[in-house]
C-alpha cells in the first residue's frame, strides 16, 4: 500500500466516529421532528373549515360531506392498470344515517359539486349536521324560503339563544348545585349526629331540628327554582331551526343546541380563519361534548397541570431529603451502594405496578383510614378512600422519585468540598453547612431532576387510570365550595384523554383529530412546564456563575 493511500485510509478511519455519531444524532432528530411534524400536520389541520361536496353516484344516491381521507384500494386496478381510488367522506347527520362516514369509489361518481348554500352545523348532540336551512322559527316570526334571509336570521338568533342556554346552565349548575351542596352538608351533619353516642340524644334534639328545617327550606327553594327552570326551558324550546339534508329529510333542532354554524362553500379566507380560531378556542378552553370526542379539553388540561404541580411539590422534598441522607449523612459502604442500586432500579419498575401499589396503599389503606377517622358520616361513599387527584399525584411522585434522587446526588457531589470545609471552619454545624451552603449550590441540579421528573410524570397514563383519572369528571378539583381545593376528587388527564378518545370512543374516525390535537396540547404543556422550571434554574445558575471557574 502506498503511503499516500495509507494516509487516505487512516483519514477515513478517523472520520468514521464523526460520521457514526453524526448519523446517530441525525436519526434521533429526524424521528423527533417526524413525530412532532405528523402530530402537528394531522392535528392543526383538522379545525380548518373544509368545503362541503355534493356527490351523485351512478346508482342515484347522493351525499353531502367533506373529504376526510383518500386512498388507493389495495390489489385493485382499472383497465389502464392505474390503481382504483376511493374517498372517505364525512357526511355527518348521524341521527339520520346511523354512521358519519361513507366510502365512495371514484369510479362510481357521476357528478361532484359544491352547492353554495350548504350549512355546516356543530351542535351539542349527534355530531355535525351538513345540509340546508329550511326554516327558522321563533315566537315572533316564522321564516322560510330564501336561504340568504334564513341564514341571516339564524345568525341573529344564535347569540340570543346562547345567552338563554347560559342562563339555564347557570341555574342548573350553580344555583341548583349550591342548593344540593347545602342539602348534602346538612344531611351529613344529621348523619354525624346519628353516629354520635345516643346518650346525649335529648341534648341533640334542637340541633337535629335545625338541620331538618334547613333542609325543608332548601327543598322548597329548589321547587321554585325547578319551576322557573322549566319555564325557561319551555321558552327556549320555542326557538327552533329546521334543517334539510341532501335527500330532503327534515330535522328540527332548538337553536340553543347549535354550537357553531357556517357556510363552508361561501367562506372567505378571513371567515375561515375566524372559524378555525373559534374551534381552537373551544378546544383549549371548552368543556368536552359527545363522550369527549368533540368540544374542549379544558378540564383535562387543568387536571394535568394540577396533578403535575402536586407531584412536583411532593417529589422534590422527598427526593432531595433522601439524596441528602444518602450523600451527606450515610456512611459510604456496601449498604449505601445497595440502596443506591435499588433506587436506580426503581425507575425501571413498570408504571402500572406503581399504579397498583398506589391503589392499594394510598387509596385503600391511607384513604380508607382517613375516611373512617374523619368522614365516617359519608361512608360507604368514599371521600379519600377511592381514586383521587392527591393519590394519583403521590403515586406519580413515587414513580419519579428515583430521577430526583439520582440528579440531586449528582448535584451534591458537584459542590466542591472546599466550600463545605470553609463553612465548617467558620464554626458552622454540619446541618448549617448543608442548609446554607451545599443545598443552595446544588439547587440548579436539583431542579434539573425535578424537570425530568415532571416531564416523565406529565406523560404517564397507566398508573393514573387506577388511582383517580376518569373519562369525565363532573367537577374540577378546585371550585368555590370551601375548602376550595378538593384533593379527594377524581380528575381528567390529557394522557388518559388521548387513550380514551382514540381507543374507547364509539366513533373513532371522527375523534381521530381530537387525539392528535390532545397529544399536541400535552406536548405543549410539558414543554411549558419544563421551560418554566428551566427559567427558574437559569436564574439561580446566574447567581452561582463562576462557581466552576
Partner 1 sequence: MFTRPMLASTRPSITINRPPRGTEAGVALGDARMKTAMAIQQLNLWYGKSQAIKQVSMEIPERRVTALIGPSGCGKSTLIRCLNRLNELVEGVRIEGGVLLYGQNIFDPSVDVIDLRKRVGMVFQKSNPFPKSIYENVAYGLRVDGEHRRGVLDQVVETSLKRAALWDEVKDRLHANALRLSGGQQQRLCIARAIAIEPEVLLLDEPCSALDPIATGKIEELLYALKERYTIAIVTHNMQQAARVSDFTGFLLMGELIEFGQTEKLFTTPRDPRTEAYITGRFG
List interacting residues with partner 1 (CB under 8 A).
Answer: 327-332, 412-413, 416-430, 432, 436-437, 440-441, 543-547, 549
Smallest distance, partner 1 to C-beta of residue 543, A: 7
Neighbours of 506 (CB within 10 A): 9
Q: With b meaning 16 or more CB within 10 Å and e meaning fewer, what string describes 134-163?
A: bbbbbeeeebeeebeebbebbeebbeebee
Q: With b meaning 16 or more CB within 10 Å and e meaning fewer, what string describes 245-255?
A: bbeeeebebbb
Q: Are 423 and 433 in contact (CB under 8 A)?
A: yes
The Cα 189–Cα 391 span in angstroms is 26
Choice between 308 and 423, CB closer to partner 1? 423
The Cα 441–Cα 7 span in angstroms is 50
Residue written as grid cell 379539553: 297
Smallest distance, partner 1 to C-beta of residue 462, A: 37
The Cα 188–Cα 194 span in angstroms is 10
Smallest distance, partner 1 to C-beta of residue 337, A: 14
Short-list 477, 342, 450, CA closest to 396: 450
Smallest distance, partner 1 to C-beta of residue 418, A: 4
Choice between 200 and 432, CB closer to partner 1? 432
Choice between 220 and 426, CB closer to partner 1? 426
The Cα 496–Cα 479 span in angstroms is 22
- Tell me how far the alpha carbon of residue 519 is from its chain's centroid: 9
Q: Are 53 and 70 in contact (CB under 8 A)?
A: no
| β-bridge partners, 119 | 131
The Cα 540–Cα 87 span in angstroms is 56
Task: Please work out, in degrees rounded to the nearest 5, the angle formed at the alpha carbon of residue 132 by the alpha carbons of 235 and 51.
Answer: 125
Smallest distance, partner 1 to C-beta of residue 537, A: 14
Smallest distance, partner 1 to C-beta of residue 414, A: 11
Choice between 320 and 441, CB closer to partner 1? 441
Choice between 201 and 426, CB closer to partner 1? 426
Choice between 393 and 423, CB closer to partner 1? 423
Smallest distance, partner 1 to C-beta of residue 500, A: 48
| β-bridge partners, 258 | 123
The Cα 519–Cα 497 span in angstroms is 9
Q: Are 387 and 466 in contact (CB under 8 A)?
A: yes
Please tell me whether residue 266 adopts helix, strand or coil conformation.
coil
The Cα 390–Cα 467 span in angstroms is 9
Smallest distance, partner 1 to C-beta of residue 428, A: 4
Smallest distance, partner 1 to C-beta of residue 545, A: 7
Choice between 165 and 406, CB closer to partner 1? 406
Choice between 234 and 334, CB closer to partner 1? 334
Choice between 329 and 481, CB closer to partner 1? 329
Choice between 342 and 413, CB closer to partner 1? 413
Short-list 316, 317, 320, CA closest to 328: 320
Smallest distance, partner 1 to C-beta of residue 409, A: 10
Amino acid at each position: 500500500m502506498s503511503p499516500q493511500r495509507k494516509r487516505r485510509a487512516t483519514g477515513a478511519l478517523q472520520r468514521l466516529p464523526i460520521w457514526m455519531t453524526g448519523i446517530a444524532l441525525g436519526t434521533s432528530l429526524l424521528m423527533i421532528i417526524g413525530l412532532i411534524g405528523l402530530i402537528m400536520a394531522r392535528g392543526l389541520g383538522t379545525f380548518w373549515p373544509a368545503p362541503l361536496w355534493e356527490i351523485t353516484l351512478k346508482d342515484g344516491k347522493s351525499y353531502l360531506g367533506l373529504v376526510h381521507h383518500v386512498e388507493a384500494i389495495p390489489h385493485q386496478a382499472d383497465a389502464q392498470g392505474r390503481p382504483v381510488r376511493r374517498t372517505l367522506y364525512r357526511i355527518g347527520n348521524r341521527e339520520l344515517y346511523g354512521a358519519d362516514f361513507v366510502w365512495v369509489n371514484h369510479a362510481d361518481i357521476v357528478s361532484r359539486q359544491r352547492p353554495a348554500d350548504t350549512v355546516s352545523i356543530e351542535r351539542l348532540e349527534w355530531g355535525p349536521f351538513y345540509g340546508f336551512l329550511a326554516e327558522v322559527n321563533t315566537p315572533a316570526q316564522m321564516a322560510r324560503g330564501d336561504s340568504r334571509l334564513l341564514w341571516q336570521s339564524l345568525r341573529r338568533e344564535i347569540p340570543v339563544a346562547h345567552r338563554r342556554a347560559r342562563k339555564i346552565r347557570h341555574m342548573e349548575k350553580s344555583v341548583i348545585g349550591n342548593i344540593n351542596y347545602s342539602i348534602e352538608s346538612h344531611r351529613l351533619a344529621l348523619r354525624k349526629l346519628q353516629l354520635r353516642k345516643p346518650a346525649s340524644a335529648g341534648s341533640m334534639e334542637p340541633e337535629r331540628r335545625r338541620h331538618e328545617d334547613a333542609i325543608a327550606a332548601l327543598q322548597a327553594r329548589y321547587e321554585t327554582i325547578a319551576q322557573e327552570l322549566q319555564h325557561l326551558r319551555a321558552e327556549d324550546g320555542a326557538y327552533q331551526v329546521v334543517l334539510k339534508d341532501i335527500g330532503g329529510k327534515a330535522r328540527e333542532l332548538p337553536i340553543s343546541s347549535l354550537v357553531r354554524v357556517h357556510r363552508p362553500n361561501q367562506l372567505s379566507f378571513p371567515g375561515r380563519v375566524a372559524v378555525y380560531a373559534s374551534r381552537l378556542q373551544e378546544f383549549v378552553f371548552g368543556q368536552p361534548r359527545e363522550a369527549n370526542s368533540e368540544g374542549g379539553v379544558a378540564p383535562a388540561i387543568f387536571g394535568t397541570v394540577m396533578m403535575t404541580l402536586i407531584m412536583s411539590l411532593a417529589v422534590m422534598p422527598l427526593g432531595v431529603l433522601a439524596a441528602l441522607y444518602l450523600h451527606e449523612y450515610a456512611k459510604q459502604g456496601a449498604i449505601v451502594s445497595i440502596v443506591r442500586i435499588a433506587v436506580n432500579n426503581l425507575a425501571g419498575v413498570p408504571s402500572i405496578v406503581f399504579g397498583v401499589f398506589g391503589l392499594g396503599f394510598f387509596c385503600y389503606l391511607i384513604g380508607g383510614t382517613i375516611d373512617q377517622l374523619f368522614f365516617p358520616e359519608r361512608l360507604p361513599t368514599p371521600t379519600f378512600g377511592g381514586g383521587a387527584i392527591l393519590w394519583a399525584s403521590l403515586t406519580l411522585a413515587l414513580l419519579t422519585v428515583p430521577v430526583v434522587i439520582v440528579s440531586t446526588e449528582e448535584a451534591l457531589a458537584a459542590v466542591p468540598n472546599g466550600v463545605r470545609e470553609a463553612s465548617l471552619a467558620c464554626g458552622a454545624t454540619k446541618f448549617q453547612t448543608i442548609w446554607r451552603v451545599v443545598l443552595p449550590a446544588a439547587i440548579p441540579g436539583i431542579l434539573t431532576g425535578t424537570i425530568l421528573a415532571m416531564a416523565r410524570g406529565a406523560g404517564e397514563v397507566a398508573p393514573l387510570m387506577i388511582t383517580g383519572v376518569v373519562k369525565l369528571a363532573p367537577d374540577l378539583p378546585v371550585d368555590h365550595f370551601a375548602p376550595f381545593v378538593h384533593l379527594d376528587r377524581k380528575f381528567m388527564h390529557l394522557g388518559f384523554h388521548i387513550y380514551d378518545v382514540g381507543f374507547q370512543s364509539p366513533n373513532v374516525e371522527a375523534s381521530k383529530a381530537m387525539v392528535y390535537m390532545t397529544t399536541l396540547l400535552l406536548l405543549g404543556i410539558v414543554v411549558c412546564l419544563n421551560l418554566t422550571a428551566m427559567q427558574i434554574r437559569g436564574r439561580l445558575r446566574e447567581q452561582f456563575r463562576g462557581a466552576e471557574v
